[in-house]
Amino acid sequence: MKIVLAADHRGFHTKERLKDFLLEQGHDVLDCGSNSDKSSDYPDFAVPACLKVARNQAERAILLCGTGIGMSITANKVAGIRAALCHDELSAEISRRHNDANALCLPADLLGDELVRRMVGAWLITPFDGGRHARRIRKVTAAERHLKGRSHEAPKVPACRKRKAKGKGKGKGK
């Protein structure tokens, strides 16, 4: 599988070790940086990596920063990317089965190397279940197209209903 890696300074060392692991497993790896642990900005690496996946130049992306949050937020701005921030093997597996995640975001400051390898291994071998989950992914894709201005047809979604708090002192900001 062709996998693109990206990390900011806080994810750099974990990315380097993960790259070695992936190569040993027989995967092709495209490294979009960072190339050091010198302070850097995660969007500078997340966007090019995710564009490789969105443009079918890689099958999946693995993105690392200190908490994984910045990479996840940035990755999900790229059309066609379904990035999942995961902290354990189960969430990594479910992100593939139910969400067809094509980008895995990892918190380098919070996970040890062995857990990272197990999570990535599970994520890479887990197939998308399809079925009812495919319907949901189609809705996400339709919303993405609409919100990015690629379609003039509004996605079909249920109307939001406003509910008022009941009783005195319920809720803030009255």
Residue 16, token pair as written in the block: 């380097």
Number of residues assigned to the chain? 174
What does the alpha-carbon distance between residue 103 and residue 63 come to, in Å, rounded to a whole number?
A: 7
Is 32 annotated as catalytic?
A: no
Q: Compute the chain's Rg from CA coordinates.
A: 18
Map residue 63 onto helix, strand or coil.
Answer: strand
Is 86 annotated as catalytic?
A: no
User: For residue 166, what are the CA distances in angstroms to 83, 154, 169, 172?
Assistant: 38, 33, 9, 12
The distance of Cα 26 from the centroid of its chain, to the nearest Å, equals: 22
Residue 151, token pair as written in the block: 């379609």
| Residue of 32, 50, 65, 86 with catalytic role | 65
| Residue of 98, 105, 152, 160 with catalytic role | 98
In contact, 103 and 53? CB cutoff 8 Å: yes
| β 83-85/2-7 pair status | unpaired
Enumerate the active-site residues: 65, 98
